Structures are given as structure tokens and as C-alpha cells.
A and B are shown apart, each in its own frame.
Chain A
Amino acid sequence: MQVRVRLVSLLREAVGSRELEVELEDGATLGDLLKVLYGKFPKLREVIESLGKRGLDVLFMVNGSTATPDKRLREGDVITILPPASGGA
């Protein structure tokens, strides 16, 4: 099945793209997706881990709702990886 991953800010720059299509086995979870992503883009894993060490944990959204790694994904799901926001004034 295919899912879409959306990235912003330095995560987007680590991968070189705002959006990616990723092929997964049917029944794959968000955790499985992350393993595939980190395998293809070790720089992304490096950036997310270094953010985590600074207390800047990323949030994973599946189709607009927050999700944990055990969330089962479906064909066409949109996964957005969000670092802590910096909008406003």
C-alpha cells in the first residue's frame, strides 16, 4: 500500500522534499513506516533524534489526528511529522 508523508522545516530539508510517497506492506503501522523512512533517510533519523535530546520531540499526525507508533496505516493515509511549532509573533 502507498502512504504520503509530509515534512516541514529542518525535517523537510533533511530529506530534500516536502512530500514523499512510501510503499509499505498491508497492515503496516506508523512504527513500520518510520523504520522504512529512517532506512531511506538516515539524516532524518539523525535530526529527529538530536531534536529529541534537546526536548524538542516531534509529533506524528495521521490524517490530521495525533498518532502513536502502533497506529495501523491504510492505503492513502497522510502522515505529517511535526516539530514543535514556532509561529505567532
Chain B
Amino acid sequence: MGAAGPLVRVALSREPVSLDAEAARLAAAASPRGAGSLVVFMGFVKGLVDNKRVDFLEYEAVEDLALAKMREIADWALRQGDVYAVEIVHRVGRLKPGEPTIYVLVVAEPRHLAFRLASEILDRVKREVPVYKLEGREDGEYWILGEHERIPRKK
């Protein structure tokens, strides 16, 4: 894989990421080492859930624990084969429909490994990283816990 070592970045961000810039950065760094496949997953806020209009999703994280767990997941991914780069960025703050919520970028060979790892990284982030969301809909606000449990927010 070369002397420079893998490229890893995990972050929580209030601002969106430039996918063009990140993809170009990772491709430029990994290409000299023989990599040629970059997979990106980007989640974004749904504007309609249970047939109700969504006005916002507000994400909060236990920052130190979230970053440590994201790093653990990235390090796990790096050990799964010829993996050159892993980047996981989770947004925090209040986001509107259509706005990005999470980015997972993986550079790996062969490409099916990159596709598989992007999916598995996302699954692990959803299950293990202490990030929580509040959903604001036309019919009220809901704390979301786990995959899809909704608890109405009492005013």
C-alpha cells in the first residue's frame, strides 16, 4: 500500500462537506499507491416521513464518545483488506430536508470491497455512534431513538 499509510478522517461538522474536494483529495493521495475506486455514501434529510411533511432534523452528539466510536469503526474498516482511505463525517445541528446528514467515503480495491465497506460502516455508525435526532414535522416534534422509534416531544 506504500509508505505513507492509510488516510483516515472522522469528524462531526455543523457545515456541509464539499464532496468534490474530498473525493479529489482522497483520489490524489491513493492513486499513486494503486487504488482506483472511491465509493461515497451521502445521507440526507427526508422531507416526507409517514406521509407527514418534515420541517427539520436536529442532530446532537456526545462529541468525545462519538468521535472515538467513529474512529474505532474507521480503524476496523481499514483492516478489512486493501483499504486505502476511510472518511466518516456526521453533521450536527438543525438540518432542513435535502441537507446532507452523513458522509462515508471509502477507497479500497477491489471496488466491491469499497461498496461493501461503505454500507457496513454506515450500519455500524447508525447502531453504535452516540448521535441523536429530534424530528420536527407538521404534526409535532419527535425524539428518535434506535432505528425508528418515535417519542413525541412534550412541550
Interface residues of A (CB under 8 A from B): 6, 8-10, 13, 51, 54, 56, 61, 64, 80, 82-89
B153 and A13: CB pair below 8 A?
Answer: yes
Q: With a 10 A CB-CB cut-off, give which of B125, B129, B132, B144 has the most chain A CB atoms.
A: B132
B102 and A87: CB pair below 8 A?
Answer: yes
Extra contacts besides A86-B145, A89-B43 (12): CB < 8 Å: A6-B62, A9-B132, A82-B62, A84-B145, A85-B126, A85-B130, A88-B90, A88-B101, A88-B102, A88-B122, A89-B44, A89-B102
Interface size for chain B: under 10, 10 to 19, 20 to 34, or 35 or more residues?
A: 20 to 34
Residue in chain B with minimal CB distance to A61: B65
Given A9-B134, A13-B153, A82-B130, answer yes or no on A87-B61 (Cβ-Cβ < 8 Å).
yes
Q: Is B20 an interface residue (CB 8 A)?
A: no
Nearest-Cβ distance from residue A51 to partner chain B, whole angstroms:
7
Given A9-B134, A64-B64, answer yes or no on A87-B59 (Cβ-Cβ < 8 Å).
yes
Which residue in B41, B129, B149 is a CB contact (below 8 Å) of A87? B129
Q: Which residues of B contact A51 (CB under 8 A)?
A: 145, 151
**Complex Cα spacing A83 to B90, Å:** 18
**Complex Cα spacing A13 to B126, Å:** 22
A80 and B90: CB pair below 8 A?
Answer: no
Nearest-Cβ distance from residue A10 to partner chain B, whole angstroms:
4
Q: Is B24 an interface residue (CB 8 A)?
A: no
Given A56-B145, A64-B64, A80-B65, answer yes or no on A86-B102 (Cβ-Cβ < 8 Å).
no
B62 and A86: CB pair below 8 A?
Answer: no
**Complex Cα spacing A85 to B133, Å:** 9
Given A8-B132, A89-B102, answer yes or no on A64-B68 (Cβ-Cβ < 8 Å).
yes
Q: Which residues of A contact B133 (CB under 8 A)?
A: 86-87
B146 and A56: CB pair below 8 A?
Answer: yes
A88 and B43: CB pair below 8 A?
Answer: yes
Q: Which residues of B contact A56 (CB under 8 A)?
A: 145-146, 149
